[in-house]
């Protein structure tokens, strides 16, 4: 019997396990489907560029065919390791725009406005203890990008640590003393894991939440080949991400009644919003080929030799080319001049293979990615079957709303304008034929439909609010079920206009206080 059972040892789960177990008389169990992050490559900042693609430490889910992407399926990646996506995705510390949080509060979520959440953002940032310097090896190209953004009428900001708004800056990488910083490394340090009141189960696959008379009392899971149960005297906290949390709720009989019945699951509580309003940041990469080497780690024989030397340097001193994630700078931009808050982001990749879809092969160059920060399109997560090991049905409905395509086309033009500024033109970069022929709106739209992909920033499937279609209240308690909360990106009423990692950490920090207040 534990006071708290946390299902999911990802970004939010690590925070909660650490904070709730700070009190010696409070017992906490943390369940994570993945393994402990023991491999040295997980500590290398540069590895973030490719970790999620390997599949070794992440779950790869294929969406339904997307009409907005010419019928293509898109692969969604979620971290399956202690630390979750904070350990596998190339994330940055980016608090969202002030208006993002104020929008949550305006929808009736008291306590979630920008001024309310700022102390928790500061608390999480302090815990990460990030290195003060940015772009240790690729500052020259980052500076040229920032000059280009400034020439395109986007002001420069000192950093990306605050509610900066429209403009460009260096990006704060998740790095501490040259080593990648994750939710697991920052919160579940050795002294934390040695607490006698904290039990961490890795490679533990949750099957269902145990419910008794509309109260969560525990979890059933598979660990080391055995089906086991744990029981909670206090609360069960679901931290399995935008896809996993909605999926487990439905497997436990909490969700849309009609769907549960169709899959042979007894309805514990009809909650129609579970799995609905899925949304994500859609991405598009624009690679630039250069006539001479701009990146020492290009996919060439020389680049591979340089990589081998850089790996030895990082292993011995945690410095050098591999002490960064090759995404040192970015710009928050607007699709329409009258907008006060950015709805698009352009990110620079100094190693083109570090971008999601680089398309350069062995050529030298760099790349930029465009992110749609405020998608209007909404999708869903649904049950494929009642088998807990079967992947759910995932349909983000990318570009399902025409307005999203219009903004992406405008953003593509802004990204191209930045890349055509004199500061970057000196590199001699040229577009590939596939992008160069996308000049007018129709051609750009076709290129988008054929090449856009996910930023893996899924959110919204257990939406916070007070309407009949919402899943949790402002205290993150599941409507209609006692002693059950959801704490992860799935509760965001609207996905934030930034990398969601900082916001997810903030949600967990705030949730820890909410839980402890409830226990008191």
**CA nearest to 208, candidates 198, 222, 195, 192:** 222
Radius of gyration (C-alpha) of the chain in whole angstroms? 22
Q: CA-to-CA distance for 308 and 330, rounded, in angstroms?
A: 28
Nearest residue to 469 (alpha-carbon basis) of 263, 277, 223: 277
Alpha-carbon gap, residue 501 to 323, rounded angstroms: 20
347-362: buried (b, 16+ CB within 10 Å) or exposed (e) per residue?
bbbbbbbbbbebbbee
User: 77: helix, coil or strand?
Assistant: strand
Q: Which residue has the tokens 């995705």?
A: 89
Helix (H/G/I), strand (E/B), else coil: 69: helix
At residue 212, the 3 state secondary structure works out as coil
DSSP type of residue 489? G
| Contact partners, residue 36, CB within 8 Å, separation at least 6 | 81, 82, 202
Nearest to 499 by CA among 48, 9, 8, 46: 48
User: Of 137, 269, 453, 457, which is the active-site residue?
Assistant: 457
127, 508 Cβ separation under 8 angstroms: no
CA pair distance 321, 316, nearest whole angstrom: 13
> Tokens for 201?
């189960």
Cβ contact 252:218 at 8 Å: no
| Strand duo 28-32 + 329-333: pairing | unpaired
| Residues constituting the chain | 520
Our answer to whether residue 358 is catalytic in this structure is no
Distance of CA 33 to the CA centre of its chain: 18
Distance CA 462, CA 476 (A): 9
> Which residues are part of the catalytic machinery?
457
């Amino acid at each position: 019997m534990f006071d708290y059972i946390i299902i999911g040892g990802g970004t939010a789960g690590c925070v909660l396990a650490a904070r709730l177990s700070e009190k010696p008389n409070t017992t906490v169990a943390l369940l994570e489907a993945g393994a402990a992050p023991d491999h040295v490559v997980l500590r290398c900042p540069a590895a973030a560029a490719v970790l999620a693609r390997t599949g070794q430490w992440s779950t790869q889910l294929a969406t339904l065919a997307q009409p907005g992407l010419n019928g293509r399926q898109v692969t969604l990646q979620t971290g399956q390791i202690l630390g979750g996506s904070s350990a596998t995705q190339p994330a940055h510390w980016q608090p969202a725009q002030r208006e993002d949080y104020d929008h949550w509060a305006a929808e009736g979520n008291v306590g979630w406005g920008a001024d309310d959440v700022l102390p928790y953002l500061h608390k999480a940032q302090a815990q990460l203890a990030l290195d003060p310097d940015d772009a240790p090896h690729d500052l020259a190209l980052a500076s040229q990008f920032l000059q280009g953004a400034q020439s395109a009428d986007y002001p420069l900001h000192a950093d990306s640590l605050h509610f900066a708004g429209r403009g460009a800056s260096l990006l704060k990488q998740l790095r501490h003393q040259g080593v990648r910083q994750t939710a697991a490394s920052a919160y579940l340090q050795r002294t934390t894991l040695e607490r006698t009141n904290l039990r961490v189960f890795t490679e533990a696959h949750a099957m269902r939440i145990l419910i008794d008379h509309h109260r969560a009392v525990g979890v059933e899971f598979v660990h080391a080949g055995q089906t086991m149960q744990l029981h909670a005297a206090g609360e069960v906290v679901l931290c399995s991400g935008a896809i996993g949390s909605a999926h487990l709720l439905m497997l436990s009989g909490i969700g849309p009644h009609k769907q549960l019945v169709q899959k042979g699951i007894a309805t514990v509580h009809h909650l129609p919003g579970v799995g609905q309003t899925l949304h994500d940041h859609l991405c598009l990469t624009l690679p630039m080929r250069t006539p001479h080497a701009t990146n020492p780690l290009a996919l060439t024989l020389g680049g591979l030799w340089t990589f081998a030397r850089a790996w030895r340097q990082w292993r011995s001193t945690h410095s050098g080319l591999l002490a960064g994630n090759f995404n040192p700078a970015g710009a928050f931009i607007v699709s329409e001049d009258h907008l006060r808050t950015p709805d698009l982001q352009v990110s620079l990749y100094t190693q083109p293979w570090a971008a999601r879809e680089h398309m350069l092969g062995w050529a030298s160059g760099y790349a930029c990615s465009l992110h749609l920060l405020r998608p209007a399109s909404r999708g869903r997560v649904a049950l494929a079957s009642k088998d807990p090991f079967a992947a759910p049905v995932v349909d983000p409905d990318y570009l399902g709303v025409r307005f999203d395509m219009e903004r992406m086309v405008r953003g593509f033009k802004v990204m191209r304008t930045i890349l055509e500024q004199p500061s970057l033109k000196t590199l001699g970069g040229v577009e590939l034929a596939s992008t160069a022929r996308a000049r007018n709106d129709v051609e750009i739209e076709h290129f988008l439909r054929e090449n856009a992909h996910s930023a893996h920033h899924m959110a919204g499937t257990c939406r916070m609010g007070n309407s009949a279609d919402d899943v949790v209240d402002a205290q993150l308690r599941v409507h209609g079920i006692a002693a059950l909360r959801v704490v992860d990106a799935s509760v965001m009423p609207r996905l934030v206009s930034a990398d969601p990692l900082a916001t997810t950490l903030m949600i967990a920090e705030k949730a820890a206080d909410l839980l402890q207040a409830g226990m008191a």
